[in-house]
Amino acid sequence: MKVLAINAGSSSLKYQLFEMPSETVLCSGIAERIGMNDGIFSLKVNGEKFEEVLEIPNHSVAVELLLKWLIDHKIISDYNEIQGVGHRVVHGGEHFAASAMLTEENIQLIEDVAELAPLHNPANLTGIYAFKKLLPDAVAVAVFDTAFHQTLAEEAYMYSTPYEWYEKYAVRKYGFHGTSHQYVSAEAARLIGKAPEDAKVIVCHLGNGGSLSAVKNGKSVDTTMGFTPLAGIPMGTRSGDIDPAIIPFIMEKTGQTAAEVVDMLNKKSGFLGVSGLSSDARDIEAGINEGNHRAELAAFIYAKRIAEYIAAYHVYLEGADVIAFTAGIGENAPYIRKCVTRRLGVLGVKLDEAVNESIRGKEAIISTDDSAIKIAVVPTNEELVIARDTLAFMN
């Protein structure tokens, strides 16, 4: 059975086509920089990579490109060969504690909480609708980022706000990137020779969006993102944690509404806001190499916040076994890993700088043998988690 796993981000659409249940990857690829004139669409099949730079105005166009390329490259001969499509959906609110079939009712529930993840849920829904139109007979499943973090203790997910906000409006920490944190924490444990149920792992999922998690014995016990994906560390265009009083202050100074200010915090902050260059970490690194102070500042703020959360989670876990870097930046930006880990020397963390510089996009231990906490790079595989859950519904 062919199952397509779809991971639609705010500016990307990542995909893998699996033959299940063997979990054989038939092809994979990504549409990047969606919404930009210099979008990149790529496909890997049989060890060969095809790539084209073109305008990808939205996620609907990305989906059409994907299915066209599958036909053009003779990976499938007919759309009906794809029997299942699993979609990453960022926010399930309190409606979903596990994956779910994409019935009309469940799609409406996803729409109902779209305001909680304004950069992602609408993109996820665009992908869902596009695939339902082009593959109406395929089993469609939503796999929620929030599900893995449902194991947080009350002290970890509740805010110190009026309790009726939780009772009436479900205001609490939900956490995101759950499929990635679930997969990477288990793989990182195995990489250091431990069973996932016996390991204490800090996962640093660093991409255009980013979050950290503390995972103890295979279960999430804390994570940086909160009620929405805006919380936690700075990201490509998101501010991360700020003093909430900044919002009414800026409203008063600029005449903007609360929604407009929050939109700025979601779409005009982070790397983009500080550097003034780009939301892409590759552009930030290029700016640093050119001596751009604001690019360097953006990277240093980013690294400082990440290191602070790692230190806090190390304490909460009563001693982490391994720190795992994953996702686009975590896997491919040695300079960011170095910026973060050099701030953790007081914890006995020691980076093998030569190994770190050589690792991009592959699994490895990048700490020295005498590091008190192991440091690992673990490529995430959210798509495999999505495919497995989709197959379960198909069966």
Could you give the residue numbers annotated as active site? 145
Asked if residue 21 has a cis previous peptide bond (ω within 30° of 0), the answer is yes
Q: Which residues are annotated as a binding site for substrate?
A: 88
Cross-strand bridge partners of residue 82: 2
Contacts 24+ apart (CB under 8 A), 93-100: 93/146, 93/170, 93/174, 94/170, 96/142, 96/144, 96/146, 96/147, 97/147, 97/150, 98/144, 98/147, 99/141, 99/142, 99/143, 99/144, 99/147, 99/389, 99/390, 99/392, 99/393, 100/141, 100/142, 100/144
Q: Which residues are annotated as a binding site?
A: 7, 14, 88, 205-209, 280-282, 328-332, 382
Contacts of 282 (CB under 8 A, 6+ apart): none
| Count of Cβ atoms closer than 10 Å to residue 126 Cβ | 18
Q: Which residues are annotated as a binding site for ATP?
A: 14, 205-209, 280-282, 328-332
- State both tokens at 193: 């020779």
Integer Cα distance of 229 and 304 in angstroms: 19
Q: Give φ, ψ of 87 to 5 degrees.
A: -115, 130
Query: Biggest alpha carbon distance in the chain?
Result: 58
- Burial of 368 from C-beta contacts in 10 A (0-12 / 13-18 / 19+): middle
Return the amino acid letter for 129.
Y
Q: Which residues are annotated as a binding site for Mg(2+)?
A: 7, 382
Closest to 44 (Cα-Cα) out of 67, 71, 62, 26: 26
Give Rg (Cα) of the chain: 20
Q: Give φ, ψ of 219 to 5 degrees.
A: -125, 140
Integer Cα distance of 391 and 395 in angstroms: 6
